[in-house]
Amino acid sequence: MKSKFARKRTESDEMSLQITSMADIFTILLVFLLKSYAASAMTVTPSAGMSLPQAFGQDSAIDALKVEISEKSVNVEGQSVATLEGYRFNQSDIQANGTSQSLSKALDRERQRQVLIAKANSDVKVDPRIIVISDRHVPYSTVKSVLASAALNGYTDFKLAVVKGE
């Protein structure tokens, strides 16, 4: 009898945290985050310091070649291919038809790669889409040069990345 009382006393003194319910909450949170993470794997992620314009756009669930125009450079698939000075191309880089020489070279390389893949695999088609991720302060002359360079290399379907608003 005595020992029974003693055991009861120790049980009531031990306050244990209900970890099972906490684990449930964490699991649900993790599943939710993983789901949203997987859905956004193909989306556009602008670089740090970029400020995209706001507009009422469609979903960004497309996968295409990404060209990013920031204050100091133009990046193709995350790699810097042309330098800018105050959002503008160097005049020496601009050709007579308004295209950028260095950007055209990089886009041509990407195009050749796509063509090679399409030749090897009949299921893959050469994609004319290009996603332009541009800072809101970029002048239209720079955007024009980028679009002209893209069109010259077969990327004729322009998609503009914007921050969804309103």
Chain contacts with other proteins (rule: CB under 8 A):
19-20, 22-23, 26-27, 29-30, 33-34, 36-37, 40, 43-46, 52-60, 62, 98, 128, 131-132, 134-141, 143-145, 147-148, 151, 156-164
Select 18 or 79, whichever has its Cβ closest to other proteins: 18
Q: What is the DSSP letter of 40?
A: T
Q: Judging by beta carbons within 10 Å of its beta carbon (0-12, 13-18, 19+), is residue 105 exposed, middle or buried?
A: middle
Straight-line distance from the first to the last Cα atom of the chain, in angstroms, rounded to the nearest whole number: 72
Shortest spacing between CB 125 and other proteins, in angstroms: 14
Distance CA 68, CA 108 (A): 16
Select 86 or 120, whichever has its Cβ closest to other proteins: 86
Shortest spacing between CB 149 and other proteins, in angstroms: 9
Long-range contact set of residues 72-76: C-beta below 8 Å, sequence gap at least 24: 74/100, 74/103, 74/146, 75/47, 76/103, 76/106, 76/107, 76/110
Shortest spacing between CB 12 and other proteins, in angstroms: 19
* CA torsion, ordered 123, 129, 134, 140, to nearest 10 deg: 160
- Please name the amino acid found at residue 53: P
Shortest spacing between CB 121 and other proteins, in angstroms: 23
SS3 10: helix
Q: For residue 24, give both structure tokens.
A: 């449930």
Shortest spacing between CB 32 and other proteins, in angstroms: 9
Select 115 or 163, whichever has its Cβ closest to other proteins: 163
